[in-house]
Amino acid sequence: MQRLYKNKMEILIIGGTVFLGRALVEAATARGHRLTLFNRGQTNRDLFPEVEKLRGDRDGDLSALTNRHWDAVVDTCGYLPRIARQSVNALDDSVERYVFISSLSVYSDIRNAGVDENGKLGTLEDETTETITGDTYGPLKVLCEKEAQKVFGDRALIIRPGLIVGQNDPTDRFTYWVNRFARGGDTLIPGHPARAIQFIDVRDLAEWTIKVIENKKSGVYNANGPEKVLTMKEFVESCVRLSGSLTKPIWVRDEVLVKLGLTPWSEGTLWIPETDESSRGFFSFDCRKAIRDGLTFRFLDDTVKATLEWDRTRPRDRQWKAGITKEREEELLRKVAEMAVDD
């Protein structure tokens, strides 16, 4: 049970009903803070009945935020600088601290491990574009960060997480694996067992975010985990152990999967080919600054177990947003076996 913070704070969350927003509400209320949520009321509107909710739209309808004051705002869903600018300007005189949840995707050069907060940032030739793609997502986040920093200066706190995982994750990138191992059988695992992976439990990110707000921190932080190197083999072993299923991991080399057309990050979740020299630092960002300022990580088994329990509450016939289908996996494993025979 978390210790209550001695001084209650008034915290506004833009969003607050999906994934990180939900975890932030839970972390903040557990520490005794008063919350206000600002959103359109279209998703999970019945969540947190005890929390004040303001309705509006951050793109053009911010009137509900006028004549109010909060100690901090956490912006969990800023993707376009034009829209971020509206909330930043609207809250200039209403909040003491602007916390913008950005992304490690802001970095344009991840050829090497250990990129810290001073890494080179992505840019756009056309900064007016509002088309979000794999190429524009990171640079657009950079521009959103700049909007917050321009207005709030040293009252701006920029947090750059990597892959956020756990309960209520809408992306399925992590949950795919937890679900897949629970099903058992021959399981295609991309890459080699010793390759490093990084992600952060949504609860760890949320709890730390609230604590750095309490400590009035500002500036920029990378936020990813765990503190020590985590290998794909360790992750696989945790998933298999906690699922209780009979699973046979089939490790397949990067070059084979590239040849067979497996799409990194969407089909092959938690996988970027190590043969891709431009992305070799993708799973090894330097997060020591955040760790020095209190970021901690729960045990891997805790994250896997919580995700597995939540996934078991979802409809079995739901459409997955990431990972590969049973048929696609069987096809790939068959081709891998045929290639081995040919060799």
Distance (Å) of CA 301 to CA 111, 215, 304? 30, 29, 5
The CATH code of the domain that includes 130 is 3.40.50.720
> What CA–CA distance (Å, rounded) separates 79 from 77?
6
> What CA–CA distance (Å, rounded) separates 315 from 299?
27
Residue 244 lies in a domain: yes
Residue 342 lies in a domain: no
Alpha-helical runs (H) found in the chain: 20-30, 81-90, 137-152, 175-183, 202-214, 232-243, 254-260, 288-292, 300-311, 326-342
Residue 153 lies in a domain: yes
For residues 170, 183, 195, 172, the Cα torsion angle rounded to the nearest 10 degrees is -10
Residue 39 lies in a domain: yes
Residue 343 lies in a domain: no
Q: What is the pLDDT along the chain (343 residues), one digit of tens a residue?
A: 456 777 899 999 999 999 999 999 999 999 999 999 999 999 999 999 999 999 999 999 999 999 999 999 999 999 999 999 999 999 999 999 999 999 999 999 999 999 999 999 999 999 999 999 999 999 999 999 999 999 999 999 999 999 999 999 999 999 999 999 999 999 999 999 999 999 999 999 999 999 999 999 999 999 999 999 999 999 999 999 999 999 999 999 999 999 999 999 999 999 999 989 999 999 999 999 999 999 999 999 999 999 999 999 999 999 999 999 999 999 999 999 998 776 5
Number of domain units in the chain: 1
Residue 341 lies in a domain: no
| Residue ranges making up the domain that contains 287 | 10-333
3-state SS assignment for residue 180: helix
Residue 30 lies in a domain: yes
Tell me the whole-structure pTM to 2 decimals.
0.96
Residue 155 lies in a domain: yes
